[in-house]
Structure 1
Amino acid sequence: MATINIRRDVKDSFYRYQMPKLQSKIEGKGNGIKTVIPNMTDVAKALGRPPLYLTKFFGFELGAQTTIVADMDRYIVNGAHDAAKLQDLLDVFIRRFVLCASCLNPETELSINKKDQTITYDCKACGYRGEIDGRHKLTGVIVKNPPAKKSHKHKKASGHGEEDDAAEDELTRRIRKEAAELPTAETINEEDWAVDTSEEAVRARVQELEGNIENVLSLNDSRGEDDEADARYDEFGQWLELRLPMSDVDIYKKMKEENIHHKSKAIAVLVQRIIRPPFVGQFEKHAALFKKLCNSDKHERAILGGYERLIESTKLQHLDSVSKVLLEIYESDLVSEGTLEKWGAKPSKKYVSRETSKKIQESARPFLNWLAEASDESESEDE
């Protein structure tokens, strides 16, 4: 069976994380046409996720009904979909529901927080603990069908279970600390989804390609730009997510083609799409692109606003790195001193809730204090 790298952007032939290349078989015709994925179980096993998750994900992304007959190992998506299209969508699934945000390795195990119904993961490669973005509709499926817990009986059998746990916890704490300092038999049917998979129908459902993402990306609150439909920016964000990683040059070309390269709303969406946890080193990496796009205080504020929304989307998990990221933004000349000082003067609900804004600014205090002191020293020298 042909295998490929789980991360297809990694070209190393010795990359240790492999999976079977996705296969598809089209059956039926007319309104009864459907795509069967004969090796779904093998692919899912390589990713450490139940086949249910992958099948449902394809259904959501394609706006198509899915059918699973587990006893017969049949995983079906209505409509005709070639293997290449499904493989591209699988890349998105892997980025969102498999890879560790810190080390980008696929050695993650999911768990459900019963209290708030959030989905977290533990990375067995680097020790990082993160949270799955809850905006995609698949998260509802995962919560209702939680992954089976893996047995750890071998630890108890060794007679050193508690010592092993303590040693692992200490190692995990050390790894996290160092990483933070780096710069850089039942048939399951889908709900009553439309099964029209024509190009026109897929385009019409582009809003659902990444779930209810408009709840986070939508900027429809009369914030002073213009009143055109926010779907324009959401569609750009969704288009980008399906094609990452891609070069900043190609991103800029697409924004210019859509005539949104001068829009602050587009910049806020861009930040939320290409800046990845744990965020440190990411703005510097894309500095040339942001400089090309930003030419006003409003654009600079959009960079900060997009970053605020990223922090909020991770349930404030990365507050401890806010000052580092702001310093990076400042030293990369992406946001001016004046804009940063104005931003840090008082909480704002322009992009996030006032409470979240306050917490972010509290975390930014070391940087803001440094910026103020540096400004005072500069003024003294001028005198």
Structure 2
Amino acid sequence: MTATDAPEFSGTPLLPSRTGSTVELRDLVRDFGGGAGLAGFDLAAAPGELIALLGPSGCGKTTALRSLAGLERVDSGSILIDGRDVTDEPTNRRDLGMVFQSYSLFPHLTSGQNVEFGLRMRKVAPAERRRRAAAALELVGLDHHAGRYAHQLSGGQQQRVALARALVTEPRVLLLDEPLSALDAKVRVQLRDEIRRIQTELGITTFFVTHDQEEALAVADRVAVMRAGRIEQIGTPEELYHRPATAFVAEFVGLTNRVDGTVTGGRLQVLGQEVPLASPVADGPVTAYLRPEDLLLAPDGIPGVVLTTSFLGALRRTRVRLEDGGELSVQHGARERPEPGERVALALSGSPVTAAERSVAG
């Protein structure tokens, strides 16, 4: 990348703008001859929105991100940023910031020099580069680590430097490709929350690729659940969890118990009880998707035997085998401590339940 190829740098302070950019991916097709492609992929992001692309391996989520970045050529379709078609433009003309799973820091440069790198490529004056790099490092909480090299930083600190490097050029769009997957669980949660804080503070339109559903639900304004190169459903985390549009989404997002049921007159009959439906389903045999929190340990109800129970802090999750051989997961308060082998009874909480016609649900 040369200075003449790079987008013009404003030279203004790194401060919250809350303007964001619009991004549209229209009917993108990328055919690899089998798997991990795009098959008519459509997605539009509003200014300042954080959209998570979530799905199993091979669903096309990284291909979608790489196509937006210009790192992957699409066979057809168009990519627009702020209304401008950039489909055929190279990566360095799209004005994007990118953070990947691998930290990709230059080992021979300090943290500050790594962050300055993009500014140096844009021929920004040395004093301005240092000032802006310091501001970016302060934004990610590493202003006292500017003189350290990559080997002197923890994994979480290295990824913060990579994030500062992506933000220092004031990109219109930020792309995050599984940026937390190489970190341990505690650091992953801390940095996840930090990314969300920074993204909200700067108001930058962001795409976050992950296979971790908890991560997606925690940080995103909207989550796009992908399957076979297309978006199966897009919505807020609450919509996806409580009102999944398809059987695939119901099973992929969150823990779910699959149970046979019947819909009659708009009501669901399942496990001998009647409950409301989360969304309309035609009368007839259905597969009901019961969340663990839709079930209760009760004095009376469906009899079963405890198989396992797991302490999760404020909650406990217990696996119960029913008399017909089926198994259900129940989420309940941690103070209830059933023991393996103990006989218990289950009841439905009465919350609306998602169901799909059994012929469709499989």
Question: Which TM bucket (shorter chain)?
Answer: under 0.3
Higher strand fraction (1 or 2): 2
Higher CA-based Rg: 2
Higher helix fraction (1 or 2): 1
Structure possessing the higher relative contact order (Cα contacts under 8 Å, 6 or more residues apart): 2
TM-score, with structure 2 as normaliser: 0.24
TM-score, with structure 1 as normaliser: 0.23
